[in-house]
Amino acid sequence: MKNYIPTNPDLWNGRISEKELYLHEKVRHINITETGIPPFSEQAYAILGYACDEGVRRNQGRPGAVDGPDAIRQQLSKMPNHLSEDTTLLEAGTIQCLNSNMEEAQKSLASSVSRLLELNTFPILIGGGHDIAYGHFNGIKNYLTSTKKNKTIGIINFDAHFDLRSNTLGNNSGTPFYQIAQDQKLENQKFKYMCLGIREDANTKSLFNTAKNLNVTVIQNKRFNLHHLANLKTKLERFIKEVDYIYTTIDLDGFSSAYAPGVSAASPMGFSPEIVLECLEIIKDSEKMISLDIAEMNPSYDKDHQTAKLAASLIHFVLHH
């Protein structure tokens, strides 16, 4: 896989305890292109990067997310380790986008996700533009197909944007869920998509119509907060009940720029971390979540590593709850 690179171990560093008190001391590095790696028998999480902002560029956004994965790794590595001794944390490398070939990067990402699932790990992907979603979803789908598990995959997206733009003029970071919807239709499969945090000032009327036509479950940002938690919990649990597996994707530009300035499309009108953590706990407690990604980390616009720290804290929460 020519666009795959193992991660430099030096990126994982921090305080030294010699007692695995920090995640950089806990993590194990693997090269997923190597053969002969046995499946993990105990609980295992695998970090995989997607170093690509070609989709953002095509979508007329601010480039820089290509450097997102390593920025997140550097903040995550310093955090304390509360994992049990029999839980494995893996660093699985990065998929690069070479020669602006985003589609090839997405194919390699899909293969890598399938590989991590075959190894009985829980993949945690870090990007990179939200075009990560198309490769990620296909990796899950290909894995389930290969194991003859004809199951329904529900997508839960924390985001200000639907990312349901038509790809008639090409694929980009705003088209992944439209692409997935079209693929599912061709394969006579259900398209189950829930968006949390959608803003009217970030999506055109036609995108709302597309979402309606595709039966997308939509929670607008004005109701995506702790004041509406009870109603939100009911809708979230109803969606989860209707599917067999959950693929969770978090676009950092859905957060208010007070929390996440380091993104392509920052806005002060986004949501807060607290409501996302509440929802993640509900999703994880369902035991249906098969994989997670965090997209649109753009270090070029970050302040004091604030956005990278937010992404790392979200991962830390998923690892430990």
- Give tens-digit pLDDT for 246-279: 999 999 999 999 999 999 999 999 999 999 999 9
| Residues of the chain by 3-state class (helix, strand, coil), percent to 5 | 40, 20, 40
pLDDT tops 90 at residue 194: yes
The Cα–Cα gap between 168 and 300 comes to 30
**What residues have CB less than 8 Å from 297, skipping those under 6 apart?**
65, 68, 69, 71, 72, 126, 127, 128, 252, 262, 263, 307, 308, 311
Q: What is the pLDDT of residue 149?
A: 74
The torsion angle over the Cα atoms of residues 27, 102, 131 and 175, rounded to 10 degrees, is -170
pLDDT tops 90 at residue 24: yes
State the average pLDDT over residues 166-185.
97
Taking the complete model, does pTM exceed 0.85, yes or no?
yes
- In the chain, the N- to C-terminal Cα span, in Å, equals 34
Q: What is the pLDDT of residue 159?
A: 98
pLDDT tops 90 at residue 148: no
Which residues is 304 bridged to in the sheet? none
Would you call 305 helix, strand, or coil by DSSP?
Answer: coil
